[in-house]
Structure 1
Amino acid sequence: MLVYAVDVGTTNIKVVLYDDRLQRLAGASREAVYERTENRVEFDPGQLFDLILDLINECAHQVVGTAQQDAVIALTGQAESLVLNDSSGQPVRAAMSWLDDRATDEVDELNERFDSADAFAITGEPFPSSTWPAAKLRWLRTHEPRTLSATRQVLMVKDDLIRRFTGVPLGELTTRGFTYFWNVPKGEYWDDMVDFTGVSDDSLPDVVSAGADLGPVRQTVLDRLPPARGYRVNSGALDHFCAMVGTDSYNYGLVSESAGTVLSLSMLRKDWAFDALTKVSFHPAFEAGDTLLFNGADSGGVALDWYRREALRELTYEELEESLTTRAPRGLLPNAPVFLPYLTGVNPPDYLPLAKGAFLGLELGHDRIDMAYAVEEGVAHLLKRNIDYLGGTVREIVSSGGGTTSRFWNQLKADVCDVDVLVPEEREATCRGAAILALVASGELSSRDEAAALNKPAVNRYRPSGSGDHESRYRLFDHYLRSLYAHTPEMEN
């Protein structure tokens, strides 16, 4: 059996082809295409589907013998991007990316209409956001009422891809909590919020579990796929949660860190209890009784990208790595400035709406490498802050994403968090996780545990140094943050 794992990312669309022993056979990717106008970010869902079919064909052409095997198409990637179709499945307007930020006034409406604590307990999201489909639908109700009148299918991007492959629109469970109209504890749509958005219940898709077999690909699509004995479709899961499966971090006591442009953390908890004061996003897990906690900080790798672009223009990442290693061979610059990585303002766990990025403790003797160290350390401090906030016992951090190419940064995170950081040599962890779910659902593998041992990527382990200097640097970071924002409600709480 073959698995085409499709990752619908925000920046890139990827397809990776695996065999039934999880050996990677081929891969292909293209940049995602958007139409951007000020705060509006839209895309063509039909064009996206065509691109995915092209990538599947590109992978098949790299491998001999695909026509003699059964194949599964497993879907993962982003959640919130909104697709609206008419009764025949044709889009009634361009799809709205989760990046689209037009619905800011509607967020205020959501706050006014629904008690934030009650909404948090229902949706699993601490705050409403223009990211969520609920806010975008409310915007459409006000600004494009004819669009909603013509809409018969309210879908997120993966729901629409399932529809295009199988003919049936279906939602996958681990993505529902990113709508802001799904009742996570009850496992059903939140009727009051659905009514407020202006759409009807029957326009929303039925919901299936993560990693579910959804049946065969419909005939009209088969004609556009490379030859195979047959094709089926698997629902996969949210990209962050698939990455946990792909890196074998879907286990208790582990934190899965995505070290990309955004710093995101996922953690599996058993018998977790909701606490309105702990502002952590929570989502249904793969098994009953488990909960997946999720936090995402926009000021992740983007902070280093910004600093390198603006202050280190001629210095490559490789040269920066060498400079940092030379300057701080033991991974510590105790007299470096402190950086608050709040370039995007609000970041968990403090959610400070007035926060800004800042270098503190600067002296004439500091240079651009000292400041680069401060930026990397500041993101590591933000990581520690979020891990401490998630609660529970954390034995290891399993890290993936572009930031893990820096050995210096990996070690710095281990030192700051005082926890082992594991970096699997797997560049497509999300696709590997989707493939694992598909192979388990098909019966090719008995469990995710069995899959973890197959063609397992090597893992680099970074152990904390145990230096108390890193703890004192974190206390200084916390002191500066509290001093600057001591009188905000978030800090007072």
Structure 2
Amino acid sequence: MTMLVYAIDVGTTNLKVVLYDERLAVLASASGPVSYERSGDHVEFDPGALFQTILALVADCARRAAATTREHDAVLAFTGQAESLVLVDASGRPVRPALSWLDSRAGVEAELMAASFSADTAFEISGQPFASAAWPASKLSWLRAHEPETMARTHEVLMVKDYLIRRFTGHSVGEVSTRGFTYLWDVRRSQYWGEMLEFCGLTSDQLPEVAAAGSDVGPVLADVVAQLPEAVGYQVNVGALDHFCAMAGTGSYQAGTISESAGTVLSLSMLASDWRFDPSQRISFHTGLHPDDIVLFNGADSGGVVLEWFRREGLQNLSHAELERELTSRSAMGAPIFLPYLTGLNPPDYLPDARGAFVGISLGHDRFDLAYAVEEGLAHLLKRNIDSFSGARAQQIVSTGGGTASTFRNQLKADVCEVDVVVPNEREATCRGAAVLALVAAGELASIHDAAELNRPLNARYEPSRGRLRTELIDRAERYALFEDSLQRLYAT
């Protein structure tokens, strides 16, 4: 009897399900959009609709698979976003629409939390350098102040993946790699943060039990199995945070390798080696795929969204292919410096007054000089984050996401960061990683590293141009110094 894994990625924009066999071969995939209700800074969604969409996508995968699923054991392995918040009553029904992590209504509450707790102490406990309106703790404080009747009806406080696991198994189970994104969790002690629970008006019994990443948590409820494709049986695996699953899926879950997600936002993860808490290093830290692992994480909102803004507003929606051809013929010589802070705060600096800026622009520059500066500015932001991660030089960057379609951008990142950039030919690295964790839990794999030999995706490697263009390397260093100097002069306190 063979095993099948339905890897379920609960993304912000789309839900994805990829069906794998026990050799990590993709049998089928399906996806569907996530719908939101938006009003000002409120961003809400129907969590029950997510559950129904997942059932439909699993069924779609089974139909598309070449082989029948009825003779196999099946596992539903979850990954995806972390912070989105679902409140349920004693029967597990949501008491109000879920609050997306994109919802920013709790800005004042985040400021109150920051004023109520020592910044260094809160960082050491929560793993987060600062309080944010994105965290469930902030939103719960807002609900306590503005919707006390909602909190009175709330039996359990769940994150979106917790809620879906509850719908499939009947048990409320959280997963440890996502807990650090709640601002309710003591990362180093692996327990809920009592003082913050009290601040938010919660008790620990309102929160789910927490399982290790990649844990099997039990069978699917009989009434839900009746809605799924026929199989010998169904188990649920809690998986892990999407960024960490991508590391497992691309073989980048190792010290010295930076895992970069080059999408709408820029995010970086790295397994730490001999990590010790240092309050001066304002880098988010989290429990990784093994209980004693610490994974460093930074997420900068100013990622691909900045390039898309300039392509739309400055280039009249010029195609990516045309932009690629034009930029390939350009040089850094003479282009302006660009600070990609259009969304404000970006790690590793967290400068509250920072904004986007072109520095050194003149009448001689054209729109492609500005486009070059935007691309280079994002590479500078990447380098700044990588340099902050560790005193040890990164051995390589493993890059996934939509931005990796640009060979120009991949090479530029290698040149600016002075390190190889590896781009796996794997469209669903996150789902592959969730499947890897499920196969390890089932005993099909001895460790996540064994997955490298199973249907391994091909890699494209971009090496720094230092050996071929020595003068260009000197220019890169000088231009990065200009980037740092401009950032400090304009925004540092």
Question: Which band: TM-score by shorter chain?
Answer: over 0.9
> Which deviates more, 285-294 or 379-388?
285-294
Q: Which runs of 5+ in 2 are unaligned?
A: 467-472
Matches within 5 A, 1:355-366: 355-366=354-365
In 2, distance between residues paired with 1:113 and 1:484? 30
- TM-score by length of structure 2 reads 0.97
Does the residue aligned with 1:154 lie in a helix, a strand or coil? strand
Q: Does residue 177 of structure 2 align to residue 171 of structure 1?
A: no
Q: Say whether 1:247 aligns with 2:230.
A: no
How far does residue 270 in structure 1 lie from its aligned partner after superposition? 2.2
Partners of 2:408 and 2:115 in 1: how far apart?
46
Q: 1:157 aligns with which of 150, 156, 160?
A: 160
CA distance in 2, matches of 1:91, 1:413: 44
Would the aligned equivalents of 1:340 and 1:477 in 2 still touch at CA under 8 Å? yes
Map of 2:228 onto structure 1: 225
1:291-315 per-residue CA deviation (whole Å, 9 max, x = no partner) reads: 1000011101111010001111241
CA distance, structure 2, for counterparts of residue 372 and residue 469 of structure 1:
18
Q: Which amino acid aligns with 1:269?
A: A
Find out whether 1:268 has 2:271 as its counterpart: yes
Residues 404-430 of structure 1 deviation map (CA, whole Å, 9 limit, x = unaligned) = 000000000000000000000001000
User: Superposition pairs for residues 132-147 of structure 1, below 5 Å?
Assistant: 132-147=135-150
Q: SS of the counterpart of 1:67? A: coil
Q: 2: distance between equivalents of 1:455 and 1:438?
A: 16
Q: What is the match of residue 367 of structure 1?
A: 366
Per-residue deviation, 1:286 = 2.4
Cα offsets for 1:342-386 (capped at 9, x unmatched): 001110111111111011111222111111111010000000000
Decide whether the 8 Å contact of 1:148 with 1:199 is kept in 2.
no
Structure 2 residue 481 is the aligned partner of structure 1 residue 475: yes
Matches within 5 A, 1:320-469: 320-325=323-328, 327-328=329-330, 332-391=331-390, 392-466=392-466, 467-469=473-475
Measured in 1, the distance between the counterparts of 2:38 and 2:214 equals 33
Rounded Cα–Cα distance in structure 2 between residues aligned with 1:226 and 1:366: 59
Check the 8 A contact 1:271/1:290 in 2, yes or no: no
Structure 2 match to 1:107:
110
Task: Measure the CA separation in 2 of the matches of 1:454 and 1:418.
Answer: 31
* Alpha carbons of structure 1 residues 297 and 314: separation in structure 2 relative to 1, 3 Å: closer
Which residue among 60, 63, 78 is the counterpart of 1:61?
63
SS in 2 for 1:41: strand
Aligned residue for 1:491?
A: none
Structure 2 SS opposite 1:162: helix
Q: Are 1:211 and 2:217 counterparts? A: no
Q: In the alignment, is the contact (CA less than 8 A) between 1:398 and 1:422 conserved in 2?
A: yes
Q: Distance in 1 between matches of 2:77 and 2:291?
A: 22
In 2, Cα distance between the equivalents of 1:319 and 1:276?
45
| Partner SS state of residue 193, structure 1 | helix
AA matched with 2:258: V
- Residue 3 of structure 1 is matched in structure 2 by 5
For residues 87 and 488 of structure 2, what CA distance do their matches in structure 1 show? Answer: 44
Q: Alignment partner of 2:299: what SS?
A: strand
Q: Name the SS for the 2:430 alignment partner.
A: helix
Q: What does 1:302-313 align with in structure 2 at a 5 Å threshold?
A: 302-313=305-316
TM-score by length of structure 1 reads 0.97
Structure 1 residue aligned with 2:470: none
Question: Given residue 175 of structure 1, which amino acid in structure 2 is its aligned partner?
Answer: T
> Are the aligned partners of 2:140 and 2:200 in contact in 1 as well (CA < 8 Å)?
yes
Q: Are the counterparts in 1 of residues 332 and 475 from structure 2 also a CA contact under 8 Å? A: no
- Work out the CA distance in 1 between the residues paired with 2:432 and 2:104: 31
Aligned to 1:25: 27
C-alpha separation in 1, matches of 2:316 and 2:74: 46
Does the CA contact (< 8 Å) of 1:270 and 1:289 recur in 2?
no
Describe how 1:125-136 pairs up with structure 2 within 5 A: 125-136=128-139
Give the distance between the partners of 1:165 and 1:10, measured in 2 at CA: 20
Aligned residue for 1:26, secondary structure, equals strand
Spell out, residue by residue over 1:189-246, the C-alpha distance to the aligned partner (whole angstroms, 9 max, x if none). Answer: 0111001111222110000000001111110100110111111110100000000001
Q: Match of 2:441, as an amino acid?
A: A
Is the contact made by 1:272 and 1:290 (CA closer than 8 Å) also made in structure 2? no
Secondary structure at the residue paired with 1:61? helix
Cα distance in 2 for partners of 1:312, 1:68 equals: 54
Distance 1:135 1:40 in 2: 13
Aligned residues: 483
